[in-house]
Amino acid sequence: MLNRIEHGTRTGEPGLLIAHGLYGLARNWGVIAKRLSDSRKVVAVDMRNHGLSPWFKTHSYHDMAADLAEVLTALEGPYDVLGHSMGGKAAMVLALTRPELVNRVIVADIARVASSHTQIQYIEAMKAVDLSRIEKRSDVAEQLAPVVDDPTLISFFTQSLDIKEKRWRLNLDVLAAEMPGILSFPEVSGRYEGPALFLSGANSDYVKPEYRSDIKDLFPKAQFAKIPGAGHWLHAEKPREFEAAIRVWLG
């Protein structure tokens, strides 16, 4: 089962399950999860092939949705489900295939379309790091700096580094092999009739206006909102605004 970090206790409000994006971790969501746990139980998971969760030879969205369903079954769902990017696609597939486990779904800055934003260059950058000569995260940052031009991304990637064991807590080989599937969206039948929020960054082009009718086909109750001044990493760029938007909608 997926590794999970739990915050708060389940009271009168439905619990909230958080699924991170590609190269992310449950603990990246710690601050937001803790703040939202003042009124509900919040559970953040490490997705398969990430963090402390098991490594597998596959990384399809049906696999990831099944992983989330296993967690929700153990938690005695249904829960509200929030997913960002890759986690958002997994949340969509979960809602479409196991709607009885999903009270409401929040999809952060991703749509049910194939993405043109490839991520393979970051896997190549991480695999090129000489882990034998690292003693601290800054050693890795120095090696990544010439090939990753965003310091924020470098800091984000190094969170998945096990300094003591000198290894990545990312199954880079499988993620590379499965990248075409990660960038796409699988064939899924059915519709999710529950409430759905598609929350995106105003500066992001991952959820274009022309995608809305396609989203509505599978999520007829979908609502759309944008966070001003935020890009694809909206929860990291505008955490207070992101939290406020989630609170308002869940309320």
Helix (H, G, I), strand (E, B) or coil at 237: helix
* Catalytic-labelled residue, pool 173, 205, 214, 217: 173
Provide CB contacts within 8 A for 75, sequence distance 6+.
Answer: 15, 17, 43
3-state secondary structure of 230: coil
In order along its 251 residues, the chain shows pLDDT tens digits of 999 999 998 777 899 999 999 999 999 999 999 999 998 999 999 999 999 999 999 999 999 999 999 999 999 989 999 999 999 999 999 999 999 999 999 999 999 988 877 889 999 999 999 999 899 999 999 999 999 988 888 999 999 999 999 999 999 999 999 999 999 999 998 899 999 999 999 999 999 999 999 999 999 999 999 999 999 999 999 999 999 999 999 98
Q: Is 85 a catalytic residue?
A: yes
- pLDDT at residue number 119: 87
Judge if pTM exceeds 0.85: yes
| pLDDT at position 150 | 86
Catalytic site residue from 20, 59, 84, 232: 232
Of 85, 160, 200, 204, the catalytic one is 85
Specify whether the CB–CB gap between 47 and 22 falls below 8 A: no
Model pLDDT, residue 12: 73
Check if 117 is active-site.
no
39: closest CA among 17, 19, 14? 14
- Is 130 among the catalytic positions? no
In 162-201, which positions are buried (b, 16+ CB within 10 angstroms) versus exposed (e)? eeeeeebbbbbebbbebbebbbebeebeeebebbbbbbbb
